[in-house]
Amino acid sequence: MIIGSISENKNFESRVAITPDIINKYKSLGLDINLSRNYATHLGIKDDDYKNAGANILTSDEEVIRNSNALLQMSILANENLDKLKENQSLIGVLNPYSNEKKLREIVSKNINCFSLELLPRITRAQSMDILSSQANLAGYKAVVDSFAYFQKAIPMMMTAAGTISAARVLVVGAGVAGLQAIATAKRMGAIVFATDVRLASKEQVESLGGKFLIVEGAENLETEGGYAKETSEEFKKKQEELLKETLKKIDIVICTALIPGKRAPIIIKKDMIDVMQSGSIIYDLAASQGGNSELTKVNEICDSDGVKIMGEANILNKLPVSASNLFAKNMFNFVKNLYDKDKKIFEINLEDEIIKETMVK
């Protein structure tokens, strides 16, 4: 059995699904690996690095697709490559079924097995495959580093003979994986950190990292069984807005991370809240690709609202592609290992396995 992977569209995606250090693990399962030429040269990884690890480098994307039983990708294939898929092949990656529903219906109708890893269930056995967590962790870190680099004041408190510089005050909106890493990173760099989330269970996690949790009066736990945030009621939104507007008057940097799977990101930071922020403040919106948590966010732009900068990055992990690829490749291997029956030498679609059942696009 052969797994393959072709280059992504580098205008949008710098990460790759297979790295040289994971090849031996695939080989130990009895799997061969086909990759397209110059697969990861943009990351400083030469084709020879893959060859030396045991992978086959083929001349074209078409050749890789034609000679592979399963394709591992960061995202769904381009239309011209989707047409080259064959019956009984498997396509595994971050396929974004909410946005690519029509494409995926067409692929599935051709008896091609599609697995979208962002649909993984939140169970212990799936943790090693959890691409959302591994990538969000890096995103939370990088958002803090980038916003601090753009901020024109020192971050930690400094006491000098000339006077004292106050520590920067950071607000993290959304305390999921990205938010918690943002809190930890900002705290390590000397900032005073506040955080808010609709999931009350986040309070203990925020405080364990040294952050101060902002609680909306009369809040109830708005968390799904899968551990994601629910949409909030209008009454909750109004109370949250009042609390945030008062808090933002004293905040220097806001890191927005709040997302609801398959839906537009909730608008949490309204324009009237931005209006009360101090000139020179920064809003870094990690939810930009899904519409943004800030009302003024624009994808891949830095907007200025009376001195407040709003930064909306479509894919922040393109700034950390090597680290992100290393983690993604390990997640992907663990998923394939669970899918592949080494004894039978087949990719076995066992729908009694919750991981396979939940990630398979039907």
- Does residue 348 register a pLDDT over 80? yes
For the chain, what is the total number of helices (H) and then of strands (E)? 12, 17
Annotated catalytic residue 130: yes
Per-residue pLDDT at 230:
55
The mean pLDDT of 124-153, rounded to a whole number, is: 96
DSSP state of 228: P
Mean pLDDT over the full length of the chain: 93
Annotated catalytic residue 98: no
Q: Which is catalytic among the residues 98, 122, 146, 305?
A: 122
Q: Which is catalytic among the residues 47, 66, 188, 228?
A: 228
Q: Which is catalytic among the residues 14, 90, 133, 240?
A: 133
Q: Which is catalytic among the residues 61, 130, 197, 252?
A: 130
Sorted by where each begins, the domain ranges of the chain are: 2-119+321-354, 136-318
- Give the C-alpha separation, 70 to 191, whole Å: 46
Annotated catalytic residue 90: no
Confidence of residue 238 (pLDDT cuts 50, 70, 90): confident
- Does residue 220 register a pLDDT over 70? no
Per-residue pLDDT at 259:
87
What percent of the chain stands above pLDDT 90? 85
Per-residue pLDDT at 310:
98
- Does residue 138 register a pLDDT over 60? yes
Per-residue pLDDT at 98:
86
- Does residue 91 register a pLDDT over 70? yes
Please name the residue that has the structure tokens 């101090």. 278
Task: Write down the pTM of the prediction.
Answer: 0.90
- DSSP helix/strand/coil, 289: helix
The answer to whether the CB of 237 falls within 8 A of the CB of 132 is: no
Domains 2-119+321-354 and 136-318 share a fold: yes
- Which DSSP string corresponds to 6-65? ----TTT----S--HHHHHHHHHTT-EEEEETTSSGGGT--HHHHHHHTPEEES-HHHHH
DSSP state of 125: G
Please name the residue that has the structure tokens 């250090």. 21
CB-count burial class (<10 Å; 0-12, 13-18, 19+) for 163:
exposed
Annotated catalytic residue 228: yes
The 10s digit of each residue's pLDDT in 9-24 is: 988 999 999 999 999 9
- Give the C-alpha separation, 183 to 207, whole Å: 10
Annotated catalytic residue 122: yes
Residue 252, phi then psi, degrees to nearest 5: -95, -40
The mean pLDDT of 194-207, rounded to a whole number, is: 91
The 10s digit of each residue's pLDDT in 295-326 is: 999 999 999 999 999 999 889 999 999 999 99
The mean pLDDT of 63-68, rounded to a whole number, is: 96
Per-residue pLDDT at 215:
86
- Dihedral sign for Cα 343, 344, 345, 350, please: negative
- Does residue 263 register a pLDDT over 90? no
For residue 291, which amino acid is it? G
DSSP state of 175: -
Per-residue pLDDT at 362:
87
- Residue range 136-318, CATH number: 3.40.50.720
Confidence of residue 77 (pLDDT cuts 50, 70, 90): very high
- Residue range 2-119+321-354, CATH number: 3.40.50.720
What percent of the chain stands above pLDDT 70? 96
The mean pLDDT of 159-168, rounded to a whole number, is: 95
**Which segment of 120-124, 181-185, 188-192 scores lowest on mean pLDDT?**
120-124
Tell which wins on pLDDT, 289 or 144.
144
- Does residue 222 register a pLDDT over 70? no
Q: Which is catalytic among the residues 28, 60, 99, 127?
A: 127
- Give the C-alpha separation, 95 to 50, whole Å: 25
- Give the C-alpha separation, 240 to 45, whole Å: 47
Spell 310-348 as b/e; 16+ CB within 10 A means b. Answer: bbbbebbbebbbebbbbbbbbbbbbbbbbbbeeeeeebe
